Amino acid sequence: MKSKKTIMIADDHQLFLDGMIRILEDETDFTIIGAYNSSSKLFHALNNQQPDLIILDIQMPNKNGFDLCIQIKSRFPIIKILFISMLESADMIRNIKKIGANGFMSKTTDAFVVKKTIREILNGKDVFLPIERKTSVEENLTVNIFSLSKREIEIISLIKKGLSSKQIADFLTISNYTVETHRKNIFRKLKVKSVSELVAFAYDNNIISFLLFFTYFV
């Protein structure tokens, strides 16, 4: 009898993990041997057994899925990686191809297509599902986000943590005037009018994790 292919899933949202398990648990040609809500738990499990495929979220705490993929492929090159995420862009798909991932699909993908994609990757095919066409508002939002510089991203991250302009200046060893100039540019680019709007925007759009992923390539 032919042995089942094995799969691990890593995502920091337990509800998503539970949903994926329910979708995939009754399949006859592959089986889930582990589901983990942190990168450290996944790596610990890989010390004991290696699956044929890891389904990996991009947004993970402590170590994002991008870095995880690089480390896993370096240590276990035979393991296939399928990214699954709410973040979707042509640039992101091009970049995850560069690091050796074997596939990508959105978290909104239909269950039938999820299973079909998994089987194709397990059978040796790379599958990067096309992203949905964005509305003009979403496209403009993406353009605005990508107009941010590395320093501006860094400052947004510190603002999210509640630091004042003076504290940010001290932390980054730059002048208070420079911080204020960056803040004005950030507000202008993202079309927000206050710190509270900026923080809400950052959380609603996950822009820190999203942009840190791409600045790796700059």
Domain end (from 128, 151, 173): 128
* 165-185 pLDDT, tens digit each: 999 999 999 999 999 999 998
CB 207 within 8 A of CB 215: no
Same domain assignment for residues 87 and 160: no
Quick one: average pLDDT of 204-208?
56
Q: Which of 152, 202, 207, 159 lies closest to 181 in space, CA to CA?
A: 152
Domain of 159 in residue numbering reads as: 136-215
Quick one: average pLDDT of 11-24?
87
Q: Which of 31, 29, 61, 26 lies closest to 49 in space, CA to CA?
A: 31
Same domain assignment for residues 91 and 165: no
Q: Please state, in angstroms and rounded to a whole number, the distance separating the CA atoms of residues 158 and 148.
A: 15
* 61-119 pLDDT, tens digit each: 677 788 899 999 999 999 999 999 877 677 778 888 999 999 999 888 888 999 999 99
Mean pLDDT over each residue of the chain, to the nearest integer: 82
State the CATH number of the domain containing residue 77: 3.40.50.2300
Same domain assignment for residues 27 and 121: yes
Count of domains observed in the chain: 2
Same domain assignment for residues 181 and 105: no
Q: Please state, in angstroms and rounded to a whole number, the distance separating the CA atoms of residues 40 and 61.
A: 10
Q: Quick one: which H or E segment has residue 113?
A: helix 111-122
Confidence of residue 145 (pLDDT cuts 50, 70, 90): low
